Amino acid sequence: MEIYLVRHTTPLIEKGICYGQTDLNITDTFDKEVSIILDKIKLDKEVHIFSSPLKRCVLLAQKFDKNITIDKRLMELDFGDWEMKKWNDIPENEMTPWMKDFVNIKVPNGESYTDVSKRVLDFFDEIKSLNQKQTIIVSHGGPIRSLLAHLTLTELKDSFDIKIIYGQVSKIIINETVQVQTSI
C-alpha cells in the first residue's frame, strides 16, 4: 500500500498573516509547482485521491484526477479569532500561552494542534483499513506534519522539526512495516 501526502502549492497571501482554514486562492506559480509534483508520483490506474475541501488543495487534487473525495478532517488548524490577522497584531496575552503549549492550548474560538492530530489520525486509520494499492492525500502543513510525527514516533511538540514546504510530497509504504520518506 502506497500513500502519498502532498502539501498544497503556494497560497496567495502576503507573508506574516495567520491563516489556517481560510479558503485562499493559489498563486500564478501553480502550474509550475503542479508539474514538479506530478513528476514525483507514478500514478496507478486505480489511485484513490483525498483532499481537504479548501481550494488550494482541491485544485491540486484535481490535477491527479477529477474523481476526488473531500474530507474535512484534512483541513489545516482552525486559527479561530486569529484567522487572517497579522501575526504581529495578535494580542500578546493570547499568543504567549499558545506559544508555550501550542500542542494543547486552543486558539481562541479555534483548535489546538492535538485537535488537528486526532482528526487526521482518525482519517488515516480509516484509509489504512481500506487497504487501497495507491492513495494520494492533498492537505496542509499541520495535518501532514502531525501524521508524519505519529508515524516517526516524534512528539507533537517536536514535530516542527519535520519541514513541510509547499508542494512537498511524502511517501508512506505500508506492508508488514511502515516506511516513511518525508520528502521525495
pLDDT tens column, 149-163? 999 999 999 999 999
One-letter amino acid identity for 115? D
Prediction pTM value: 0.95
CATH number at residue 95: 3.40.50.1240
pLDDT at 78: 98
Residue 183 has pLDDT above 80, yes or no: no
Q: Rounded CA gap, 78 and 113, in Å?
A: 9
Per the structure, the complete domain to which residue 18 belongs is given by: 2-181
φ, ψ for residue 136 (rounded to 5)? -115, 130
Q: How many domains does the chain have?
A: 1
Each residue's pLDDT tens digit, 87-105: 999 999 999 999 999 999 9
How many C-beta atoms surround the C-beta of residue 36 within 10 A? 11
User: Which strand (E) or helix (H) includes residue 149?
Assistant: helix 141-151
Q: Rounded CA gap, 173 and 78, in Å?
A: 29
Strands 2-7 and 134-139: parallel
Handedness of CA 10, 132, 117, 79 (dihedral sign): positive
SS (H, E, C) 37-95: HHHHCCCCCCCEEEECCCHHHHHHHHHHCCCCEECHHHCCCCCHHHCCCEHHHCCHHHH
| The three three-digit cell numbers of residue 81, written as one number | 479569532
pLDDT at 82: 98
Which residue shows C-alpha cell 481537504?
Answer: 52
% of the chain residues with pLDDT over 70: 100
pLDDT at 181: 81
Residue 113 has pLDDT above 90, yes or no: yes
Each residue's pLDDT tens digit, 26-56: 999 999 999 999 999 999 988 999 999 999 9
